[in-house]
Amino acid sequence: MALETMYAGQEFTPFTGLLRGINATETRIYLTSLEDAGGHSVFPDAPNLAAIFIPGTGTGEVVQYTLVGTDSTGPFIDVIRGRLRTLQFFPYNLTSNR
């Protein structure tokens, strides 16, 4: 399968939080919002990369998201895990950005 053009992450870009914790195998990640406080989209069109991290710890994971949407549970991104780091568990209410 050919790789699609990906764009580099941007430091200090808009961010959102995890609506609930995720384990190392989940591929749908629920978020607190798809927009930042200013109403700007946190995630550009898929596919692209997103970072999930615990601030101040150096613990994080970069995922490739393939879909951005909302269902009855809330806003989400569908992801391919383990792109640049080991799969990890993250508790709810963490930071995620592009």
pLDDT at 35: 86
Of 97 and 22, the structure prediction assigns the larger pLDDT to: 22
Q: pLDDT band at residue 61, thresholds of 50, 70 and 90? A: confident
pLDDT at 7: 54
Q: How many residues does the chain have?
A: 98
Report the sign of the C-alpha dihedral through residues 17, 20, 24, 25, in that order. negative
Q: What is the pTM of this model?
A: 0.73
- Strand order of the β-sheet with 48-54 is 15-17, 95-97, 48-54, 59-70, 75-80, 28-30
- Each domain of the chain, given as residue ranges in start order, spans 16-91
pLDDT at 5: 58
* Position 98 pLDDT exceeds 70: no
Are the CB atoms for 34 and 96 separated by under 8 Å? no
Q: What is the pLDDT of residues 14-52, one digit of tens each?
A: 778 888 888 888 899 999 999 877 787 888 889 988 888
